[in-house]
Amino acid sequence: MTRPIAGTPSLLRAINDRAALMVLLERGPLTRPELGALTGLSKPTASQLLARLQEAGLVVLDGIREGLPGRTAELYRINPRAAHVAALDVTPARIAVAVADVTGAVVAEHRLATPGRTGGDVVERVRAALAGACGPAGLDPTELSRVVVGIGGAVDPSTGRLGYAAHIPGWHIPDLIGTLRDGIGVPIDVENDVNLVAQAERSRGSARGHQDYVLLWADEGIGAALVIGGRLHRGATGGAGEVGYMPVVGAPTARDVGRRANHGFQALSGGPAVLALLRAHGVRGSTASGAVRTAVAVAGRGGPDGESAREALRDLAGRLALGLAAITAVVDPEIVVLSGGVLLAGGEVLRETVERELHALTIPRPRVLLSTLEGNPVLAGALDLALGAVREELFGAVNKSPSTH
């Protein structure tokens, strides 16, 4: 297969095709003159390009636009059936699935309950989850162009095994990604769930336009994602951002209590610790996020109850800022994004307090922002990664036939 050479017609066609497809993706449906105006292509070139993309199955007619001067204009759009991708969000209790077409439109969702499963065939579990989503959409899982799995752990590239995920049984098998790929029959990636949230924040959330940022996730578990120079930093073993294990002042270390015991930042600021902290201040809740939400509501009142709730939130913010200070000192991010049930339940009250406490501890003073994502952010990030890979492959494939000179 001959690659396009700089300045050749093949390269110019590839550049034009990609530009047109991206414009149609972002602005379509469009008429031929509109596409030409947005891409700077002449009418004959735009016509040839659209014919080429229609033949490749990437562009389809989308009706006509009437009421314009001259003859009726045909509308063109990206063919949504050119490719489909799937995203999975795996927790101990369930697997959530979303399937999207190449335009990013979600065409199906499914939730497979996995309560009390201590193992079993992970390939069968993933296949069942995908089938549950694909079936109603009229798809077979083998027709998917890519699948991205988000999970609370990290695949070590040197071993292929999932680490940092003892709480999710059955996934700790040799060559996890290869096993899933061969068993399902489509390209599959496995990514840390908090990393996927950071991806979604960059494409559609609070981190849009930023190249260096930290995302802190706090719910039952606590974790982080690091984006440095516009690239997600995973580390040598895939475990960058597993800050729950990070030693912090006020919490036992692995040396004190053993690696399998509760220690580090998780012991200080994870869900059970948050519940205990708030209960010590008289604030109750069945979950950490629920207790924080109650604390925020009570903090707005006067009297001793309000003061106790405000003190509880200050203590919680101080704990979170302590861990963030260590991360900030090393990474020096532009911004810190707060996400996860506990932090979102705290809203602006907790955000402002965390920012104030962090700035009191560090020389760098990054802005601290709340996540603005809606829905399931892990699925959103997984779809972003899957769609990015598939579009790169599809949009660059139109001109990959052997060229003649």
Q: Helix (H, G, I), strand (E, B), or coil: what is residue 340?
A: coil
Helix (H) or strand (E) holding 223, with range, is strand 222-228
Length of the chain: 405
Helix (H) or strand (E) holding 65, with range, is strand 59-65
**Residue 302: per-residue pLDDT:** 85
Which parts of the chain have pLDDT scores under 70?
1-8, 66-72, 116-120, 397-405
**Residue 120: per-residue pLDDT:** 65
Question: pLDDT tens digits for 171-224?
Answer: 989 999 999 999 999 999 999 999 999 999 999 999 999 999 999 999 999 999
Question: What span, in angstroms and rounded, lies between the C-alpha atoms of 28 and 205?
Answer: 23
| Range 224-231, long-range pairs (CB < 8 A, 24+ positions) | 224/194, 224/327, 225/192, 225/194, 225/195, 225/197, 225/198, 226/327, 226/331, 226/333, 227/198, 227/202, 228/331
Lookup: tokens for 252: 């036992």
Question: Nearest CA to 282 among 315, 247, 238, 259?
Answer: 315
Question: pLDDT tens digits for 50-64?
Answer: 999 999 999 999 888
**Residue 2: per-residue pLDDT:** 47
Q: Is the omega angle on the peptide bond into residue 366 within 30 degrees of 0, that is, cis?
A: no
Neighbours of 341 (CB within 10 A): 19
Residue with tokens 């309560």, as numbered in its chain: 115
Is the CB of residue 343 less than 8 Å from the CB of residue 370?
Answer: yes
Distances (CA, A) of 180 to 87, 164, 389: 14, 19, 18
Residue type for position 232: L
